[in-house]
Structures are given as structure tokens and as C-alpha cells.
Amino acid sequence: MSKPAVMWFRQDLRLADNAALHRAAEAGPLICLYVLDDVTPGVWAWGGASRWWLHKSLVQLTERLARFKTPLILRRGAADKVIADVLRESGAASLHFTRDYAPWAGALEKRIKDAAEAENVACHRYGGFLLHEPEAIRTGQNEPYKVFTPFSRACFAVGDPRAPRPAPRNITPSSGHIHSDRLEDWRLSPRHPDWSTGFADWSPGEEGARRRLESFIADALADYADGRDRPDLERTSRLSPHLHWGEISPVQCWTALRSAMAAAHGRLDRPGEKFLSELLWREFSCHLLHHWPDLPDKAFQAKFDDFPWRHDPKALTAWQRGETGYPIVDAGLRELWTTGYMHNRVRMIAASFLIKDLLIDWRAGEKWFWDTLLDADIANNAASWQWVAGSGADAAPYFRIFNPVLQGEKFDPQGDYVRKWCPELRDLPNAVLHRPWEHETDVKGYPARIVDHAAARDRALLALKSLGRSGA
Ligand SMILES: Cc1cc2nc3c(=O)[nH]c(=O)nc-3n(C[C@H](O)[C@H](O)[C@H](O)COP(=O)(O)OP(=O)(O)OC[C@H]3O[C@@H](n4cnc5c(N)ncnc54)[C@H](O)[C@@H]3O)c2cc1C
């Protein structure tokens, strides 16, 4: 009997289009392993919403593997230590895994590889989380990209990816016994209190991801280019948590989009290209994180290091709870708390409000999102917060300060989104819905504005301009 191969699942919780699984299944009788590692990432261990998703996704993966009579072994601890234990206990001849791009991942993967090879275990790392490895896309000067548009042009120039691989047809489980933790004992889902009841619309797992992609293409893609900025209309794919956990690969998404575009003979070209370019924003965030691993913790532009952020826990709490008195901001933060998701346009408005109206450090918002977003992703989250802050690589200019009233009126024109999440405002006429302080009488139960936007904007511009002048 040949020695087993270990497949270490990470953010690739799928059977289809998974090169690591494919090759591991060919290499020998298979041991499938997931390691809950709260040690190596330090402060970036999975947040609460992510843990909820992970629990459900592991249940789904376990069920899919059970069709091949293959258990998913669950272990907890520092991944390098756990993997060394599993390799030793199983006598495996090879280890297979998909590459990760978190700041600590490269060093972790190297430690694992060195330790495995020292024990004569072949260690194989595969791509799959991205369309393009961060080293593969370089400027003409052989540098990493810092600006999205040329980066995306370079990605498009590479051409479409290879066809996605189907799930393995056969998996032979290893016959040896390997201890597994019980998923319930990891207590990933909240209990007392259970704040996850609003997550019910999500279907974590490979099957849910596939259905989500199909329904997006069938029902929403045609209007994506125009509708994607409207939080009141469900015109985006909501694939982000599925992509984050690798329940679907970007290659599968890209290929499905290209097929739909081809079948529509040009009618879907504009929205399709727009969607593909959003997938490239995801690639760009990872590209930045890989080349600048400090991105989640440190301003990309050094001149922001000394920015005079305000310490204002009361205002931060009001923002987190959706009690700022600005309806579009509050609706977004309440949507986030309830459903684990916030529409992209509203993420930008809410982030701009925290950073520029309240002058609170973007890292406080980044942390809140990390804990509450189901799609919390170290690369996308950090790159997006820095983009809004103006401190990032390809950032919004410092003087772009979203006006939450005008943004609300433009992107939620009938007020459906705000009425859904701020029911106190339900009966207000549209004319004042996004500026309730102009209503002739006080609105019962809805908070007063915590800052006046015009004054806050002036304050922010002053602080940001002085930053520019310092020329640091
Ligand atoms: C302050 C802030 C924080 C954010 N934090 C995260 C995060 O933690 N995780 C996350 O996945 N996205 C994050 N985003 C990006 C974006 O808001 C979400 O990816 C998007 O809203 C997900 O919804 P969707 O799947 O319906 O998007 P769609 O519009 O359907 O886009 C398809 C896919 O493209 C990718 N994508 C779309 N927009 C972006 C973007 N601006 N940057 C990077 N990738 C993008 C996502 O993988 C998304 O699933 C953040 C944006 C902001 C402004």
C-alpha cells in the first residue's frame, strides 16, 4: 500500500478547480486536513463573522468529502506544528496545499516545507486563490504595480485563464486512523447571544457559491455596470465571502462570465467587463499585500504616519452601532451588523465618514470590518481602507470627502435602503430622508447628527492639507 498524501485545506474549501487537491488525490491515499490556526496570524486571527462562515463551510466540505468516504481531519494550533504532527503520525509521503498571501504566510509555508523535506516528505504548493501570482505581473521597469489601471491592463493582456478543473473523480481515503477534533468543540458559531440570526440568507460552501454565481449571471449581470453602485437594488454578485474562503475560484468566475458574455453576443460585454475588472481589484489588493506586507497595519504613504487622528471612543461606538445621525452611514453599519455584509458603495461612504468626518484612524474601521464582515479579507480590507483614507498606493485624493447626504440621495434615490435599515425614518418624505434634521419635527428614536458634515469637512481638509505641505 503506498504512503498517504496530505491535502492541507486553507482558503480553498472546494473540490472543483483545486490543483492541490487534484494532485494530492493522484499522489496516494488521501488525508484531508483543515487547521484552525489562531496562533500564527496574531491579531489577524479570524474575526467573529468569519468564524461563523468557516464553521458552515467546513460542514459543507465534510459532506462533500464524505461522498468519497474521506473524512476531513480537524486540528487546532500553529499550522507548522500541527502539520509536522500529522505528517509524522500518518507516515505521509507528500503534502499539498494552496498558496496564501497573508503577511505571515510566506514564512509559515517555508517553515512547513523545510520541516517536511527534512523528514523526506515532498512538499507541493499550488496557486489557485488568484488568477495571477503577484510576482507574475510587473511593470516595464520590472517593479510591482502601485496603480490599478495599468495593473488591470497588464492582467487583461495576459489573456483568459486556463479552463477550470472539474472535481476529482476518485479519491481513495487513507486507511490509517488520524485523530480529528470535533467541529462543535471549536465553538466557531456564536451562542450566548447568537448574533448570527441575520446571516440566514447566506449559503456557505461550494454548492452555495456555484448557485450564487449562476443566479448572479442569470438575474443581475445585465444591469451590473449601472446597478452595482445602488445599495437599494441587489445588482452585485455577493460572491465575496465565497471567493475569500475559496469555495469558488476566480478562474471559475472568470470563465463563467466569459461564457455568458459569448452566449449573449455582445449584449453582456459592458457589464461583463466591469465585473471582470472588479475581480482584478481583488487581484490588485493581493498584489499590494504581497509586495507591501505592512499594508494592514501601516500607511502605505509614510507622510500619514504622523497624522493627528482623534481619539474619540464615543464617536467610534456611534459609528459602529449605526447611530451617527447620517442615514446612509447608519443604514450601512446596521446592514453590516445584521447580515455580515455591506454594499461596496456604502462601505466607501461609511469609511470616508469615519476617517474624514470623524478623523478616526482607518485602522479602527479596518478592525471593526475584520470582526463583522463575512467577507473579511486581509488584502481587500486593508487596501480598501487605505484607498479611502488616501494613504494607500493608488488612493482616492485626500480632498475627496464623500458628502453622506448627496451620496445617499444619488445612490439610494427612493430611500428604500435607508428605510430598510433605519425603520425610524420610514415615514419621512424622500426630500428629507437623507437629511432628517431638516424635517419640520424631530424624528422619534433616530439620533441627532454627531458632527456637522460641512464643518467636519473643513476640519479634515485643513488636517489633510497640512500633511501634503509637510512633504514627508
Ligand atoms: C472600506 C472597505 C473595506 C472592504 N473590505 C473588504 C473585505 O474585507 N473583503 C472583501 O472581499 N472586499 C472588501 N471590500 C471591497 C468590496 O466592497 C467587496 O469586495 C464587495 O462589496 C463584495 O460584494 P460583491 O461580492 O457583491 O461584489 P461584486 O461587485 O459582485 O464584485 C465581485 C468580486 O470582485 C471583488 N471586488 C469587488 N470590489 C472590490 C474592491 N473594491 N476591492 C477588492 N475586491 C473587490 C470581490 O471579490 C467581489 O466578490 C471593501 C471595500 C471597502 C470600501
Q: Are residues 124 and 134 in the same domain?
A: no
Beta-carbon contacts of 113 under 8 Å, excluding residues fewer than 6 positions away, are: 123, 125
Atom of ligand 1 at shortest distance to CA of 279? Answer: 34
**Domain final position from 256, 291, 326:** 291
**Ligand 1 contacts CB of residue 62 (under 6 A):** no
Beta-carbon contacts of 267 under 8 Å, excluding residues fewer than 6 positions away, are: 222
Confidence band for 466, pLDDT divided at 50, 70 and 90: confident
Asked whether residue 418 carries a pLDDT value surpassing 50, the answer given is: yes
How far is it, in rounded angstroms, from Cα 368 to Cα 262?
41
Q: Are residues 137 and 123 in the same domain?
A: no
What CATH number does residue 457 fall under?
1.10.579.10
Q: Are residues 92 and 212 in the same domain?
A: no
Q: Are residues 309 and 450 in the same domain?
A: yes
Q: How many CB atoms lie within 10 A of CB 465?
A: 12
* Mean pLDDT calculated for residue range 227-254: 97
**Ligand 1 contacts CB of residue 285 (under 6 A):** yes
Determine what percent of the chain is predicted with pLDDT higher than 70: 99
Within a domain: residue 39? yes
Ligand 1 center to 344 CA (angstroms): 6
**Domain final position from 271, 291, 311:** 291
Q: How many CB atoms lie within 10 A of CB 207?
A: 14
Asked whether residue 471 carries a pLDDT value surpassing 50, the answer given is: no
Q: How many CB atoms lie within 10 A of CB 445?
A: 9
Query: Taking Cα atoms as reference points, which of 106, 19, 56 lies closest to residue 241?
Result: 56
Q: Are residues 135 and 278 in the same domain?
A: yes
**Ligand 1 contacts CB of residue 237 (under 6 A):** yes
> What SS3 class is residue 74?
strand
Ligand 1 center to 380 CA (angstroms): 7
Asked whether residue 1 carries a pLDDT value surpassing 80, the answer given is: no
Q: Are residues 18 and 104 in the same domain?
A: yes
DSSP-derived secondary structure letter, 142: S
Find the range with the poorest average confidence among 1-5, 196-200, 210-214: 1-5
Within a domain: residue 261? yes
Asked whether residue 469 carries a pLDDT value surpassing 70, the answer given is: no
Within a domain: residue 196? no
What CATH number does residue 135 fall under?
1.25.40.80
Query: Taking Cα atoms as reference points, which of 231, 235, 253, 234 lies closest to residue 243?
Result: 253
Burial zone of 381 (CB within 10 Å; 0-12 exposed, 13-18 middle, 19+ buried): buried
Which pLDDT does position 470 carry in this prediction?
A: 47
Burial zone of 120 (CB within 10 Å; 0-12 exposed, 13-18 middle, 19+ buried): exposed
Asked whether residue 302 carries a pLDDT value surpassing 50, the answer given is: yes
392-404 per-position pLDDT tens digit = 888 777 778 999 9
Q: Are residues 84 and 30 in the same domain?
A: yes
* Mean pLDDT calculated for residue range 218-246: 97
Residues annotated as catalytic (active site), given as ranges: 278, 281, 309, 344, 362, 385
Confidence band for 36, pLDDT divided at 50, 70 and 90: very high
Which pLDDT does position 472 carry in this prediction?
A: 34
**Domain final position from 103, 129, 155:** 129
- Closest-CA residue, ligand 1 atom 22, reads 240
Confidence band for 468, pLDDT divided at 50, 70 and 90: low
Q: Are residues 253 and 140 in the same domain?
A: yes
Q: Are residues 41 and 61 in the same domain?
A: yes
* Mean pLDDT calculated for residue range 433-440: 95
How far is it, in rounded angstroms, from Cα 136 to Cα 101?
14
Give the domain range for residue 337: 302-465
Q: Are residues 258 and 405 in the same domain?
A: no
Which pLDDT does position 400 carry in this prediction?
A: 84
271-290 per-position pLDDT tens digit = 999 999 999 999 999 999 99
Contact of 463 with 307, CB cutoff 8 Å: yes
In degrees and rounded to multiples of 5, residue 258 shows phi and psi of -60, -40
> What distances in angstroms separate CA 277 from CA 114, 162, 182, 349, one per listed residue?
37, 18, 40, 21
Q: Are residues 47 and 157 in the same domain?
A: no
117-156 per-position pLDDT tens digit = 999 999 999 999 999 999 999 999 999 999 999 999 999 9
> What distances in angstroms separate CA 296 from CA 213, 311, 430, one per listed residue?
29, 20, 39
Q: In 173-268, which ranges are continuous DSSP H helix?
A: 206-219, 224-227, 240-244, 250-263
Within a domain: residue 338? yes
Q: Are residues 371 and 418 in the same domain?
A: yes
Q: In 266-372, which ranges are continuous DSSP H helix?
A: 269-291, 313-321, 327-339, 344-352, 362-372
Residue from 280, 384, 394, 400 to probe ligand 1 pocket by mutation (most atoms less than 8 Å from CB) = 384
How far is it, in rounded angstroms, from Cα 145 to Cα 196?
39
Asked whether residue 158 carries a pLDDT value surpassing 50, the answer given is: yes
Within a domain: residue 452? yes
* Mean pLDDT calculated for residue range 338-353: 98
Q: How many CB atoms lie within 10 A of CB 165?
A: 17
What CATH number does residue 102 fall under?
3.40.50.620
* Mean pLDDT calculated for residue range 237-241: 98
- Name the domain count of the chain: 3
